[in-house]
Amino acid sequence: MLRRMTRSTRIQRVLSGCLALLLLPGGIEAAPEASSVSEGSWGGEHMILEVSAKGAEIELDCAHGQIAQHMSLDRHGNFDVAGTFAPEHGGPVLRDENTPPKQARYSGHIDGNTMSLTVTAGKEKVGMFTLTRGSHPLLRKCR
């Protein structure tokens, strides 16, 4: 079949194919693959974050929290998810004492095995934390 094509037709097809290959990588960008925060323990000073496929459990010295959704990362390694945050206090806890958790935001950035995390409960910034994947620090619970 190639023998029946004219020389100019073959050259035109080869040039069209080369042009398409040159333009494809720069002209069409594939959508970035969705990634997520690695499952397991992330620990740092005063905090442990236990990440699972369904969310995360948070323990601080004098508080705890929960994220009840998958922790997805954008293409830059950032995340911002809703959760709950419940402060605790030292001393005896009354039998009928029930401190309902507050709505909270857990936002931050992953860079390799390091997570920068900001916790905001309502309008109050609870704190900024630096966590390391696989770290299991000791907490000083105030209960």
In-domain check, residue 138: no
Q: What pLDDT, on the 0 to 100 scale, is given for residue 13?
A: 62
Render the burial of 87-125: b for 16+ CB within 10 Å, e for the rest.
eeeeeeeeeeeeeeebebbbebebeeeebbbebbbeeee
Residues 41 and 133: beta-carbon distance below 8 Å: yes
133, 128, 132: which is closest to 117 by C-alpha? 128
Q: What pLDDT, on the 0 to 100 scale, is given for residue 142?
A: 80
Tokens found for residue 15: 């040039």
Q: What pLDDT, on the 0 to 100 scale, is given for residue 69?
A: 95
In-domain check, residue 55: yes
In-domain check, residue 19: no
In-domain check, residue 44: yes
Tokens found for residue 119: 């916790």
* Number of domains within the chain: 1
Residues 68 and 55: beta-carbon distance below 8 Å: yes
Torsion angles phi and psi, residue 128, rounded to 5: -115, 135
Q: Which residue has the tokens 């720069």?
A: 26
In-domain check, residue 67: yes
pLDDT mean values, one per 10 residues, the chain (143 residues): 58 52 42 74 96 95 94 96 91 74 96 96 94 92 75
Entry pTM: 0.72
Domain span at residue 109 reads: 35-133
Q: Which amino acid, one-letter code, is at 67?
A: I
